[in-house]
């Protein structure tokens, strides 16, 4: 998903409906001698309202420095516009235009959670290679929705429509599959976060369980043809498993958090719809994905913000003092794994809710295979930002977090051609560059100059090697 970062930070979309002209009893407003003036005023008003309705753009608050060509802005505005009535002919044209691949062999993909971190990168990568993409996102407030709206703006400038809707909206999903015969669904919409589940458990059931069922129902019983589905599970399903590196053959029946439990439930639900309805389904277990346009609730993101702001950060350690470790996986590597899963997915075998034969059912780890202590990640950020972090060391509480993650990706390598290539230092450097550009972060050092010097040094070392 490597696309030039968007410097716009937030914007608001305003809905513009039709305007109702109140009927005015002309006999009580003006005298009979003023009929001509009255009619002229009404005509002028109607003309102005028509012009306003047709030409007034959605309200877009962009930040200084953001610019685009007039043609790109026009298309961008069209894809962002919420003035187009759901289900109307204009709405269907927008959906079909975004869904149409550039070549007959291209995929037609519905991406749920398209304004999310992984969803944005995957949508851009699919569109770049010529596939048709339609996105869907509910823009919830789990983290700052303005970042999701900025991602939506980025996608729209690349010709990708992202609808503001929820995966539990069955009429909308039904209509989408009526309008477009999607060949694939990349289902990334979910309620993320391990700790938040302790405060709002129902949101996880609604998104990760009910939402998954709603999507499978439409795909299995209504869509014609049935699409192949690739969906985001999680490395969290390994829970309290202690065998390392985590393999798809290891047990996943001891989740440590409600989030993990809902993802494990999703894998069981996927098995059911595959078995009964012949849906081709591939589950992907992501391992701590990071990078530009990432999620603010993730440690690397919040640590960057706190280090720059001079706020203390909290580092967890185990009861015995050992470090918490994560298998940090760069976004570009994960995108390659997602596209590999889409490309190798076999067609579903059902029709009209009836299974015609056995269908493909798979699950894969997508990780980096190199666990790193979280403290080392902080050290890399300190070097990049030129600032020492204020650290608070705390024993890992019983909040659903696990002490380590470590992916075995041999199966994904064999079946999907998945090969992670980005080390943590390289990935964090790319993230910090994006962060500083996006937020206009002020630090005690010139971060851009520092990173450029590091890149120049690396280039010299590669040239002399």
Where in the sequence numbering do the catalytic residues fall?
259
Rounded Cα distance between 163 and 179, Å, is 14
Q: Which two tokens stand for residue 447?
A: 């971060």
Rounded Cα distance between 119 and 129, Å, is 16
Q: Long-range contacts of range 86-91, CB-CB < 8 Å, 24 or more positions apart?
A: 86/172, 86/175, 87/175
Nearest-5° angle of CA 432, CA 436, CA 439?
A: 130
Nearest-5° angle of CA 61, CA 66, CA 69?
A: 110
Rounded Cα distance between 275 and 409, Å, is 26
**Phi and psi of 440, rounded to 5°?**
60, 40
Write the CB contacts of 346 (distance below 8 Å, at least 6 apart in sequence): 228, 280, 359, 360
The continuous run of DSSP H or E covering 343 comes out as: helix 331-344
Rounded Cα distance between 270 and 281, Å, is 7
Nearest residue to 2 via CA among 374, 447, 345, 422: 422
Residue 406: HSE in the Cβ half-sphere, 13 Å Cα cutoff: 14
**Phi and psi of 227, rounded to 5°?**
-80, 160
Instruction: Please give the C-alpha separations between residue 52 and each of 55, 58, 72, 422, in angstroms, as whole numbers.
Output: 5, 12, 22, 50
Rounded Cα distance between 430 and 2, Å, is 10
* Neighbour-count burial of 358, counting CB atoms closer than 10 A to its CB (0-12 exposed, 13-18 middle, 19+ buried): exposed
């Amino acid at each position: 998903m490597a696309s030039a970062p968007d410097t716009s930070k937030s914007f608001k979309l305003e809905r513009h409906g039709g305007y109702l002209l109140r009927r005015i009893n002309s006999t009580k407003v003006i005298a009979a001698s003023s009929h001509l003036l009255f009619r002229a005023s009404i005509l002028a008003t109607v003309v102005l309202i028509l012009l306003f309705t047709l030409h007034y753009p959605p309200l877009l608050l962009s930040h200084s420095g953001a610019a685009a060509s007039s043609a790109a802005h026009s298309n961008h505005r069209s894809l962002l516009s919420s003035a187009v009535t759901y289900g109307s002919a204009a709405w269907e044209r927008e959906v079909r235009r975004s869904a149409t691949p550039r070549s007959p062999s291209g995929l037609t993909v519905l991406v749920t959670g398209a304004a999310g971190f992984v969803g944005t990168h995957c949508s851009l990568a699919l569109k770049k290679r010529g596939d048709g993409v339609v996105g869907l996102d509910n823009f919830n407030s789990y983290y700052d929705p303005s970042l999701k709206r900025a991602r939506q703006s980025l996608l729209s400038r690349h010709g990708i429509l992202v609808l503001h809707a929820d995966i539990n909206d069955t009429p909308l999903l039904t209509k989408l599959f009526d309008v477009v015969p999607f060949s694939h669904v990349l289902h990334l919409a979910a309620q993320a976060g391990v700790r938040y589940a302790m405060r709002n458990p129902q949101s996880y059931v609604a998104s990760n369980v009910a939402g998954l069922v709603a999507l499978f129902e439409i795909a299995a019983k209504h869509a014609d043809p049935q699409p192949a589905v690739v969906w985001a599970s999680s490395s969290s399903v390994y829970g309290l498993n202690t065998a390392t590196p985590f393999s798809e053959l290891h047990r996943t029946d001891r989740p440590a958090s409600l989030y993990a439990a809902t993802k494990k439930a999703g894998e069981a639900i996927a098995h059911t719809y595959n078995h009964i309805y012949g849906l081709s389904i591939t589950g992907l277990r992501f391992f701590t994905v990071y990078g530009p346009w990432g999620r603010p609730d993730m440690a690397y993101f919040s640590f960057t913000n706190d280090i720059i702001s001079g706020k203390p950060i909290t580092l967890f350690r185990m009861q015995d003092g050992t470090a918490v470790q994560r298998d940090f996986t760069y976004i570009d590597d994960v995108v390659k794994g997602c596209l590999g899963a889409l490309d190798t997915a076999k067609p579903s075998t059902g029709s009209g809710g009836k299974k015609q034969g056995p269908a493909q059912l798979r699950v894969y780890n997508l990780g980096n295979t190199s666990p790193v202590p979280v403290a080392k990640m902080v050290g890399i950020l300190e070097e990049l930002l030129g600032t020492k972090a204020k650290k608070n060391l705390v024993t890992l509480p019983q909040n659903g977090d696990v002490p380590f993650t470590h992916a075995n990706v041999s199966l994904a390598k064999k079946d999907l051609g998945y090969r992670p290539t980005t080390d943590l230092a390289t990935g964090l450097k790319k993230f910090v560059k994006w962060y500083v550009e996006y937020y206009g972060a002020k630090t005690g050092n010139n971060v851009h100059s520092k990173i450029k010097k590091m890149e120049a040094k690396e280039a010299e070392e590669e040239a002399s090697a």
